[in-house]
Structure 1
Amino acid sequence: MRFKDITLFTHKLTEMKDFYKKVLELHINSEDKSHFSVQIGSTTLVFKQSESSSEPVYHFAVNIPENKMEEAKSWIASKVELNTEKDSDEAFFESWNAHAIYFEDRSGNIVEFIARHNLNNAVEHRFSSGDFICISELGIVVEDVIPFVRKLNEWGLPNWKEDNEGLTPVGDEHGLFITVKEGRRWFFTKKAAEFYPCEVTIEGMGQFSVERKDSKTFITSVQHDGKTNH
């Protein structure tokens, strides 16, 4: 699964644009008073101004070359403070065969750089933002994980790991919905997971909207005529 486009919401549009342009050194693809977009490898990331008084916080991960974690860590640590977990600023997920680091942007979104050693994407040059491969994870907060995962399975998206009531990843190492139970603590933070809406376009599958109604998180397929299929 590959994310072509991801749209998130922010209450700090100007500060976020400055962060993604100057700190992460990304080109601004488009912008106006209500949005801006940047290119993260093969994924277009759009931030829209939040229309409510809420302060949305998301989690997403960026794939980097599997041999560049040390350089990427040094590169980002010179710009922002890394998050820590048990006095460590780096994680190794043995069952995923991946190293990861975490930091936050101006809206408090939990951004992860992850080097997946199962993927054949090593490079030999010095690391830069041009080496971002794609956004490979997007956190989706739900009240009940397994029923939502079954819905994703119905859309043709397989589990990446076994069902777990707290967190179940769905997709593959190029693109994963990190399906998380509401209130669960985000790894490498003290923040409890809360739902905020988002939109995604998946290569070969189309556009999807993730929303909440009557305290239930649901995903819909958006047709070109603007209608939705539940």
Structure 2
Amino acid sequence: MTILGLQLSTHLLDELKAFYVDTLTLPLAEEREGSFAVEAGTSKLVFEVAEPDTRPSYYFGFHVSQNHFDSVTRRLSQRLPLHQPSGDGLGKSASRNAVFCSDPAQNVIALIPSAAPRDLQAVANQLEIDRVGELGLVVEDVQNMRQQLETRLGFTSYPMTSGTRVELRNATTTFILMPPGETILQNGGPKTAIYPIIMTLAGNINAVDRLDDYPYFIHIADISDVPGVQLATPV
């Protein structure tokens, strides 16, 4: 299941718009009062204004064409600092020489080299980003959520060196399950916490699901005969 859309919350909407459009040079897809969207290859990344008195931060990763990865990371290093993950690691992405950066809201972003052929439907961008391919889900009970995602979405789990995190993968997408209160980068940064997420995954049925009582909504979109898919809105 490929991530077609990812909607996150932020307390720094204008700053993030400038970062993703100007620094990461992702095409602006849509802008409305209280939200904006950029095209990240075949994925649409949406940020909306967060609830008052909250400062959301997330972990997610972009797949980048392996053939261009070195040149992309060199260009990116001239625009902003690059980081290493914490000692707990971030699973397979870290072992593939991913590089990490942070946006103004302290979202941690991984650039992950991918050997998969570039999708012809991907919207072009200067960093050769193919899609959103990795996402951190912060949950109180990591093992319970692992079992749910294995059963409901068919992901395969892999142990991680930290002992507190679990990596789930399919052919195109990775979820990192992690408990609250952990740090991702070696230089510190915000602690992992639970904030709203809406994601759209490509599939062969149409369904909207919520992960337990978490503010995590998954829209599985049947794209077999549909050229475009809209982000789901929870009801």
In the alignment, is the contact (CA less than 8 A) between 2:201 and 2:218 conserved in 1? Answer: no
Instruction: Find the residue that maps to 1:74 and give its secondary structure.
Output: helix
In the alignment, is the contact (CA less than 8 A) between 1:199 and 1:208 conserved in 2? Answer: no
**Alignment correspondent of 1:107:** 105
In the alignment, is the contact (CA less than 8 A) between 1:8 and 1:48 conserved in 2? Answer: yes
1:75-154 matches, cutoff 5 A: 75-84=75-84, 98-116=96-114, 119-121=115-117, 129=126, 131-154=128-151
Shift of 1:138: 0.8
Q: Gaps (5+ residues) in structure 2? A: 119-123, 222-231
**Alignment correspondent of 2:59:** 59
Q: Which moved more, 1:152-161 or 1:54-63?
A: 152-161
Larger fraction in strand? 1
Shift of 1:9: 0.3
Post-superposition, which runs of at least 4 consecutive aligned residues in structure 1 deviate over 2 A?
91-97, 119-122, 127-130, 162-165, 205-213, 217-228
**Separation (CA, whole Å) in 2 of partners of 1:226 and 1:21:** 24
**Alignment correspondent of 1:43:** 43
In the alignment, is the contact (CA less than 8 A) between 1:141 and 1:193 conserved in 2? Answer: yes
In the alignment, is the contact (CA less than 8 A) between 1:198 and 1:209 conserved in 2? Answer: no
How much is the aligned-residue C-alpha RMSD, in angstroms? Answer: 3.2
Instruction: Find the residue that maps to 2:70 and give its secondary structure.
Output: helix
**Alignment correspondent of 1:176:** 174
Shift of 1:162: 3.5
**What's the TM-score, normalizing by structure 1?**
0.80
Query: Letter of the aligned partner of 1:76 in structure 2?
Result: L
**Separation (CA, whole Å) in 1 of partners of 2:198 and 2:100:** 23
In the alignment, is the contact (CA less than 8 A) between 1:161 and 1:169 conserved in 2? Answer: yes
**Separation (CA, whole Å) in 2 of partners of 1:196 and 1:203:** 23
Q: Gaps (5+ residues) in structure 1? A: none
**Separation (CA, whole Å) in 1 of partners of 2:82 and 2:47:** 22
Shift of 1:178: 1.1
Percent identity of the aligned residues? 21
**Separation (CA, whole Å) in 2 of partners of 1:198 and 1:94:** 22
Query: Letter of the aligned partner of 1:139 in structure 2?
Result: G
**Separation (CA, whole Å) in 1 of partners of 2:165 and 2:70:** 27
In the alignment, is the contact (CA less than 8 A) between 1:198 and 1:210 conserved in 2? Answer: no
Query: Could you report, residue by residue, the CA deviation over 1:83-140 in whole angstroms, capped at 9, with x for unpaired residues?
Result: 2458xxxx99789751111111111100110114xx3448xxxx96351011101110
**Separation (CA, whole Å) in 2 of partners of 1:95 and 1:85:** 10
Q: Which moved more, 1:62-71 or 1:36-45?
A: 62-71
**Separation (CA, whole Å) in 1 of partners of 2:37 and 2:60:** 15
In the alignment, is the contact (CA less than 8 A) between 1:35 and 1:49 conserved in 2? Answer: yes
In the alignment, is the contact (CA less than 8 A) between 1:5 and 1:45 conserved in 2? Answer: yes
**Separation (CA, whole Å) in 2 of partners of 1:15 and 1:7:** 17
**Alignment correspondent of 1:156:** 153
**Separation (CA, whole Å) in 2 of partners of 1:94 and 1:147:** 21
Query: Letter of the aligned partner of 1:134 in structure 2?
Result: R
**Separation (CA, whole Å) in 2 of partners of 1:85 and 1:162:** 17
Q: Which moved more, 1:133-142 or 1:75-84?
A: 75-84
**Separation (CA, whole Å) in 2 of partners of 1:219 and 1:26:** 25
**Alignment correspondent of 2:12:** 12
**Separation (CA, whole Å) in 2 of partners of 1:174 and 1:223:** 15
In the alignment, is the contact (CA less than 8 A) between 1:134 and 1:174 conserved in 2? Answer: no
**Alignment correspondent of 1:198:** 197
CA, structure 1 residues 219+23, in 2 after alignment: closer, same or farther (shift >3 Å)?
closer
